[in-house]
Amino acid sequence: MIFKAFVVASLACASFAAPATDSADAPRCNVSSAIIETVGSTLPAPEYTPSFVGLGVGTQNYTCAASGTYTNVGALAEIFDISCLYGQPGFDDLTSVISLLWNAAPPVVTPSEIIAFGEKYDLSFVLGEHYFVVNPVTGSGLNPKWDFTSHAFAGNPDAYVVGSKVDDVPAVTGASDIDWLYLKNLTGSLANEIYRIETRGGQPPASCTPGSNNITVKYTSLYWFTGGEF
């Protein structure tokens, strides 16, 4: 029931004012003159024009370090196309509203299930997925990847970007929201820059018992992508 409400709300949001198009037409609305709103943070201004804006819904994953604090070990999120909502009333509240629904969903609703839902129904407002991969350049450590090869640009193997973090600042909205980030492309031709802003949730508890299980913490965020070849 709640999951259905969540999906319907996402669908209503993402398809608002959007013409029905096939999934190859991404983004559904042109955001090239959009302003990436980072006021209140020290994140740098973009060097390229915006190409995509996505709503990320997923989890941040943590493991308990020997020091008794959580360390981030990746994330998994579905990225919804919200380009047609840019400039509309409510755009600024999207991550808050969806965060309320996401947090209210029962534990059986996982990011994998949301992704599977997108696969099953071939939702044209899904851009793709966000997850972590071994650094493709150095072969060690994990880097974030945004992968649009199974949705927005299905069949195009270059429609992804692996990012390398340049800047990381506390969320303007407070300590319970994960940091705002600015990344540049490491590999892939989807984008030259990636912003994670307007985050909600995703922060782990302040302490943990070493040896305890890994945890996942729900979050939502805006992801802006600039430049790229798509």
Ligand X SMILES: *[C@@H]1O[C@H](CO)[C@@H](O)[C@H](O)[C@H]1NC(C)=O
Residues lying near ligand X in the complex (CB under 6 A) are found at 30, 32, 59, 61, 63, 73-74, 76, 110-112, 132, 185-186, 192, 213-214, 216, 227
| Least distance CB 186 / ligand X (angstroms) | 5
Instruction: Please say which residue, 10 or 51, places its beta carbon nearer to ligand X.
Output: 51
User: In whole angstroms, how close is the CB of 40 to ligand X at the nearest point?
Assistant: 28
Q: Which is nearer to ligand X, 41 or 192 (CB)?
A: 192
- How is residue 70 written in tokens? 């959580």
Report the residue number, 41 or 161, with the smaller CB distance to ligand X: 161
**Minimum CB distance to ligand X, residue 151 (Å):** 17
Q: How far is the CB of 96 from ligand X (least distance, A)?
A: 21
Toward ligand X, which CB reaches closer, 55 or 75? Answer: 75
Question: What is the spatial distance between Cα 27 and Cα 50, in angstroms, rounded to a whole number?
Answer: 11
Residue number, nearest CB to ligand X: 74
Distances, alpha carbon 56 to alpha carbons 128, 142, 219, in Å: 10, 19, 8
Packed helices 2-15 and 94-104: angle between N→C axes, nearest 10 degrees: 160
8 A C-beta contact, residue 147 and residue 224: no
Burial of 175 by CB count in 10 Å (0-12 exposed, 13-18 middle, 19+ buried)? exposed
Residue with tokens 């407002």: 125
